[in-house]
A = this chain, B = another copy of it.
Amino acid sequence: MSSVDHFWAVIPAGGAGTRLWPLSRAGAPKFLHDLTGSGRSLLQATVDRLGPLVDDRTVVVTGTAHLPAVARQLPGVAEEYLLAEPTPRDSMAAIGLAAALLERKDPDAVMGSFAADHVIPDGDAFATCVRNAITAAEAGWLVTLGIEPTYAATGFGYIHVGDAMADLPAFHVKEFVEKPSAPVAAQYVASGDYRWNAGMFVVRPTVLLDLLAENDPGFAADLRAIAAGGAEAMARLWPTLPKIALDHAVAEPAASAGRIAVVPGAFDWEDVGDFASLGDLLDPDASGALTVLGDAGLVQSRSSSGLVVTATGRFVAVLGLDDIIIVDTPDALLVAARDHAQDVKAIVNGLKDEGRTDLV
């Protein structure tokens, strides 16, 4: 399959991944880490996955603090396509900035926005889905990808899928719904009418910005002014942009107005939120063995299961512990029961309160 002319990948690379501390840090967030043992960080794997569709048309939007690391991880991405957010202003500003720049650079552009920290093992199924989304986006739709649920997840939002379109490989979106309760999630999955919302969008830049302008004309105008005005405009306007997610600023209003399409995808997709889900990702068959992310030769265990992440050269011995999580980094060690994986956030917050910025 060849690449798609004028299709651009936009990769917002943000988010701290607090629940993956001490591997993920404010200074080295989740997307910079190889969480799959593939030898590539989540960001690199995202760029790799999109490569066949875009050739070298990849734009990354990240915090200024992470720009050097991103530049080193992605030597194939031109410097002009590595965009720095001076301060975090949520996804509408980040993706809107890329849209405003692409609108000027390539009038025929279609952009696809894909988070830097998702795991999608089946690149071909993903590409097929994106190609369908591009077809719908070229026809003027704001298109979201809807992932087929494999269980009644309560940690994701859902997309309520409507009728199929007559002439496009897509469906109408009835509405976006927030993270549901467990019984509601079960109903969603049983109905077959709901898809997971993975926050992936394909759209012409002008369509995106015009949809934004309908709800917040000043926001869209400022993004276009930054794209036209360069560093001076960025310094002046960026700090004034609203902090709002693209879902709220554009997608939900567009759904209410019947102006958004969804392309179903049946590929595995993981938003690796904490070490419990990372353990599942790395040991999908729940083999009962101890999984190692890093150099497995460093780890010896007896009568144990769970996950060991080795980010140092230290030897690790594990004895008689089931569902254990051990994360070994040079300056901090986490040892947790799997069912306490969420408590990592409390440790990080405690460290922040104590001013231990060196550790968070």
Contacts and interface: CB of A to CB of B under 8 A. Distances in A.
Interface of A: 22, 300, 302-303, 313-321, 324, 326, 328, 330-337, 339-341, 343-344, 346-347, 350-351, 356, 359
B340 A314 contact: no
A158 to B, nearest CB: 30
Contacts of A356: 315
14 contacts: A300-B347, A302-B343, A302-B346, A314-B330, A314-B331, A314-B332, A314-B333, A317-B335, A317-B347, A318-B336, A319-B335, A319-B344, A320-B336, A333-B333
A185 to B, nearest CB: 25
**A333, A344, A347: most-surrounded residue (chain B CB, <10 A):** A333
A319 B318 CA distance: 16
Contact of A335 (B303, B324, B359): B324
A51 B315 CA distance: 40
A339 B320 contact: yes
A331 B328 CA distance: 11
Q: How many copies does the complex hold?
A: 2
A73 B252 CA distance: 71
A310 to B, nearest CB: 9
B350 A321 contact: no
The 8 closest A-B pairs by CB, nearest first: A320-B340, A320-B337, A319-B336, A319-B340, A315-B332, A317-B347, A319-B343, A316-B333
A356 B315 CA distance: 10
Nearest to A324: B335
Contacts of A328: 333
Contacts of A332: 314-317
A341 B302 CA distance: 11
A334 B317 contact: yes
Contacts of A324: 321, 335
A208 to B, nearest CB: 41
Nearest to A336: B319
Given A300-B347, A317-B347, A319-B341, 16 more contacts: A22-B315, A22-B317, A302-B343, A313-B331, A314-B330, A315-B331, A315-B332, A317-B332, A317-B333, A317-B344, A319-B337, A319-B340, A319-B343, A320-B339, A321-B336, A333-B333
Contacts of A316: 332-333, 335
